[in-house]
A and B are shown apart, each in its own frame.
Chain A
Amino acid sequence: KAGVTQTPRYLIKTRGQQVTLSCSPISGHRSVSWYQQTPGQGLQFLFEYFSETQRNKGNFPGRFSGRQFSNSRSEMNVSTLELGDSALYLCASSFQGAYEQYFGPGTRLTVT
């Protein structure tokens, strides 16, 4: 079956702009989690959605938000981009929360 897909794969934005990233989970998976990976901070949890509800949120400012649609696809949005938001953003899907998450290819965001 098809894996987790993320679009776009690469993105270059300017400080102050906003960006929306998309994630389509594996068919049948209802949980989608987002992680940020940077060389300095490593892999950090952003938020998790299950059946269109945000169940958990990491320690990130309110500029980071997300949502999940009825078909389980998820989007995350970052407003007022800062240079420090440059990172690889990974989406993971599972049947239930953190149990056996499968990761997508990631979106590489560069903020200039």
Chain B
Amino acid sequence: ELKVEQNPLFLSMQEGKNYTIYCNYSTTSDRLYWYRQDPGKSLESLFVLLSNGAVKQEGRLMASLDTKARLSTLHITAAVHDLSATYFCAVDFGNEKLTFGTGTRLTIIP
């Protein structure tokens, strides 16, 4: 079965702190995506990771992909309130569709 698991499901963190969201997937893939979703809104593309060892950074967010471990991480550095949202990872298993993780609801506390 093609599965994508994210953890944690909920994350409450203080401004200025660092934290990591994990995304594990069940079988071989070298295409992984991270999206952000604000309440009531659509999905905003954050990162596209297309090979083993890929690392992308944008502002306080950095994403990496380890295809051998079937693991991607989204690292948040010195969190600010504007980063409060739900973050999804999604994997392309080569079947012309994205399989999404459960999402991580991130709340940044001042």
Contact = CB atoms under 8 A, between A and B. Distances in A.
Main secondary structure of the interface of B (DSSP, over half): strand
Interface in B41-81: 41-45, 48
A92 B97 CA distance: 10
B34 interface: no
Interface string B75-108: 0000000000000101010011111101100000
B105 to A, nearest CB: 11
Contact of B42 (A48, A50, A100, A105): A105
A99 B42 contact: no
A18 B25 CA distance: 36
A98 B45 contact: no
Interface string B4-48: 000000000000000000000000000101010000111111001
Interface residues of A, number: 25
Nearest to B91: A98
26 contacts: A31-B96, A35-B100, A42-B100, A43-B100, A43-B103, A45-B97, A50-B96, A55-B96, A56-B95, A56-B96, A56-B97, A90-B43, A92-B98, A98-B31, A98-B96, A98-B97, A98-B98, A99-B31, A101-B33, A101-B45, A103-B35, A103-B42, A103-B45, A105-B42, A106-B41, A108-B40
Contact of A48 (B43, B96, B99): B96
Contacts of A35: 98, 100
A38 to B, nearest CB: 12
B103 A42 contact: yes
A35 B42 CA distance: 11
Give the 9 A-B CB pairs with smallest separation, nearest first.
Answer: A97-B96, A43-B100, A98-B92, A103-B43, A45-B97, A56-B96, A105-B42, A103-B42, A106-B42
